[in-house]
């Protein structure tokens, strides 16, 4: 869908290096605003606006120079509902194995007290702020972050390298952008999964939905955890049987997805 109706888009008429440079202040502003709003109770009401102000707005303004609409440029197409079943299963089945992968770093590499304090702070803000944080994590953050990392950065990289390498690099950038050793490894793999879904479906809605599922799971687990459990250093691995079952479902669902998609490619060799 990169060149729908053969209309040149933003990535055709603008210098790729300028476009990548433009992504840096967008993310820095997004990270700064979300950090401030998470930590300041009086500003939490505006938290869902962080992604709009820092990412969606700037990308929309930039795209005004393009003949393509914002929807076409960033592949904001809603696939048929039945075509979302396998991507949802693939995404959901990856959650538990990635949780186990993340625990490796939590148990053996680092004890990040700042991150734990951050999680405790989120829990102690009260119900109204908690609802707004949920809206941000499950709705606004997935859309804005997928716009930036998959709809923008990954597709710029695709113009200069194979789709496989573009997915890997965009996933790595996505992981590093989380700026926390406890999150970077699993976020990197998660970003690569989202990039794969973007390539395979040609729709940014699919990885956005997957991102929302991941965040909803994490937010639910946070909601169900006590402060004592969050502060405990004895982090437990998920049940190994659940991990194996999830991995099996992931492999089967991905194989079926591949067989249905054939070897259709958007712009490379993935």
**Per-residue tokens: 68:** 């393509």
- Rounded CA gap, 75 and 55, in Å? 16
36 contacts: CB under 8 Å, gap ≥ 6: 43
The predicted pLDDT at position 129 comes to 75
DSSP 71: H
CB 14 within 8 A of CB 67: no
The predicted pLDDT at position 92 comes to 96
Nearest to 213 by CA among 194, 200, 199: 194
pTM of the model: 0.88
- Rounded CA gap, 193 and 189, in Å? 6
The predicted pLDDT at position 52 comes to 92
Mean pLDDT per 10-residue segment, the chain (270 residues): 64 83 93 80 72 94 91 92 93 94 72 68 72 88 96 92 94 90 88 96 95 93 76 75 95 92 52
């Amino acid at each position: 869908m990169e060149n729908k109706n053969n209309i040149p888009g933003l990535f055709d008429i603008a210098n790729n290096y300028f476009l990548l440079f433009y992504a840096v202040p967008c993310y820095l502003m997004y990270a700064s605003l979300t950090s401030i709003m998470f930590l300041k109770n009086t500003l939490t009401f505006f938290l869902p606006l962080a992604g709009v102000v820092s990412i969606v707005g700037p990308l929309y303004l930039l795209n005004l120079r393009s003949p393509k609409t914002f929807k076409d440029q960033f592949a904001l197409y809603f696939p048929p509902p039945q075509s979302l079943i396998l991507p949802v299963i693939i995404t959901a089945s990856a959650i538990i194995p990635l949780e186990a992968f993340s625990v490796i770093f939590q148990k053996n590499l680092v004890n990040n007290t700042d991150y734990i304090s951050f999680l405790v702070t989120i829990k102690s803000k009260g119900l109204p702020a908690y609802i707004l944080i949920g809206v941000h994590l499950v709705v606004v953050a997935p859309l804005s972050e997928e716009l930036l990392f998959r709809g923008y950065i990954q597709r710029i990289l695709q113009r200069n390298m194979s789709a496989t390498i573009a997915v890997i690099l965009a996933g790595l950038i996505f992981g590093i952008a989380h700026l926390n050793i406890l999150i970077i490894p699993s976020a990197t793999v998660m970003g690569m999964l989202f990039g794969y879904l973007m390539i395979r479906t040609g729709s940014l809605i699919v990885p956005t939905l997957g991102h929302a599922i991941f965040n909803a799971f994490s937010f639910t687990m946070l909601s169900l955890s006590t402060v004592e459990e969050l502060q405990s250093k004895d982090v437990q691995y998920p049940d190994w049987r659940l991990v194996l079952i999830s991995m099996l479902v992931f492999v089967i669902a991905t194989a079926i997805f591949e067989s249905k998609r054939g070897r259709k490619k958007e712009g490379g060799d993935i």
